[in-house]
Structure 1
Amino acid sequence: MIDEPLQRLLLENLTTATLLLDAELRLEYMNPAAEMLLAVSGQRSHGHFISELFTESPEALSSLRHAVGEAHPFTKREATLTSASGHSITVDYAVTPILTRRQTMLLIEVLPRDRLLRITKEEAQLSKQETTKMLVRGLAHEIKNPLGGIRGAAQLLARELPEEHLKDYTEVIIEEADRLRNLVDRMLGSNKLPSLSMTNIHEVLERVASLTEAESLGNLTLVRDYDPSIPEVLMDREQMIQAVLNIVRNAMQVLSSGSGLNLGRITLRTRTLRQFTIGHTRHRLVVHLAIIDNGPGIPSDLQNTLFYPMVSGRPDGTGLGLAITQNIISQHQGLIECESHPGHTVFSIYLPLETGATPA
């Protein structure tokens, strides 16, 4: 039989967040994994009512009381727990009644789902991106081949025309063929491989900031929220400037089309994240660059197709800026995401800070 010290040692070393509640739903014990997940101290929280640690749904307390009264276990999937500090996490949790001599206690095992859901979302996004690339490449091939024939035929026709003014029409054909070919080339993105070198991410952001301040004529509030401890990142400096500038200019245009730039605010924020997964690879350390604006937000019907070529929320937009940005970030083995609601839009760029990564 396992003695009590060994039982506690086993609980202390579990990676599953585990809590023990008494019959009044007050905390008796939580292991270190639970402390880390809920960002609270088990010792200080001892005796606290469960809703003082986190809240879920109005029905959650009733379910817990029912579990105590009827000794009935239950499991809940993809529940959203909100801590006392206001931080929300998505979890699965299982509640198991434990009958003791004095009372019925509840053992709660909590499994965080945020990371798994985010990985699933990223994989779907990367799959869509690859599918879109293949579609665009195939479409570009089918367009550029006849364009070359049309352009060549127009040039030959121009040589045979008897009158000079008739060449104006062939010039229109040639110019429009060239314009369409350039558009297709932009859809495909640059074929040039990144010229990688160790670069300070804040040099990139300062370059973008100076261009933004010049273009907005000082009417836009630009906030810098940097982590100066971030080491240099292996990147193509010019490509990364282009990628970030595309996002910032989009935000500027949206803000200027509203109530004016005077109320507009764009924040450039940098942080580091540990043990972060991009695709199937877990990185020990990544840099998180967030571009935040207080504009009206991106329409919900556009959010799932935001990075597709030719998709734009503006009547005068080409829909290529974000597609190019995503291509650049992908070439740097990184990831770009967007979350948006009215008054708050965040584009997040994640770039690995080390080369030695492990499969997730």
Structure 2
Amino acid sequence: MVKLGLVGLGEVAQLIHLPILQRLTEMFTLAGAYDPSPSVAQSISTRWSIERVFDSVDAMIASPDIDAILIMSPDQYHGRHARAALKADKHVLIEKPCCLTMEDLAALSGVVEQTDRIAMVGYMRRFAPAFLEAKRRLPAFADITYVRVRDVICEGPWYFRQTDTVVTPKDDIPASLIEESRQLRGTMMDSVLGPNAPAELQTAYSVLTGLSSHSLSAMRDLLGSPKRVIAAEIKQGGSQITALFDYGHFTAIYECMIGDVVRFEAGFEINSRYNRLAFEYPTPYIRNLPMVLDIQNSTDHDNSLTRLGPFHQDPFDVELRAFHAAVTQGGENRTPPSESMADLDLFAAIISAARKTD
């Protein structure tokens, strides 16, 4: 049994992780939690029977009653909280992105190398059963002719307002902490984009490290990193990103758009000469929606379409089970922090290519 401490009890904790953890009681105990809002911490800990509310991250990390930390704090704190937990001999599962800057990530990776604790990044799309089945059936790299990756979505609130209620702070987060968080994120954004970067670029980088990180990390899992970013465009104030990736004998196309039309089109299409794999992810804010994997095979005289699924097991469920297996049984850790360095490199290359087209 892994005694789990939660850092951050916001939207992702309330709508995604806690409902799943409540079903995994044979694996995890909700041993503690911290949130900068005392009202949120008290409300959520009561609702989900979390054993103890801590008054600081440091206090929870230092507790002998905690084995592992699930980090769901604001992105700019991920590296800091993960390093502190690892130094205290805690395992960590870090919600994506692992870190916002290469410097922060390098510091974290250095700590990981000095410990035997598990550090895993929460790229849950890479744990989806349909994705794993697609990976097993992927054509040989030399045979791939075309790849398209899409993230064209409406944000989560449109969905979860119909199914659940998110507890929000009652103006009880200390002003000093809000200012510290703002300044820390600003410093990190300046480090990546340069001082006084246009708001459009800052928004685009937030999209890349947020929504896009799921798909681009999954793309690397399937195909490896591209040789280069051929071109990129950032439009709509940073909420629309289009990029072309050079994979040698084929180009991968990435389309991202966050808008107000209600849809969730997030998925992959991978073609070889005679075959096609395609799958789409549903919104993560509604539990256990189905995924399918379409496999098309064509010849000069015939064509067939096979649909595998529906797969109803939640990717977050698979991810948490994988974390538990890594901690308790030495299971494979497919998403360590060091692996995220390629993601930050790719985000930087997209930003650089977009700047060249301005």
What is the TM-score with the length of structure 2 in the denominator? 0.21
TM-score between both structures, scaled by the size of structure 1: 0.21
User: Relative CO higher for 1 or 2, CA cutoff 8 Å, sep ≥ 6?
Assistant: 2
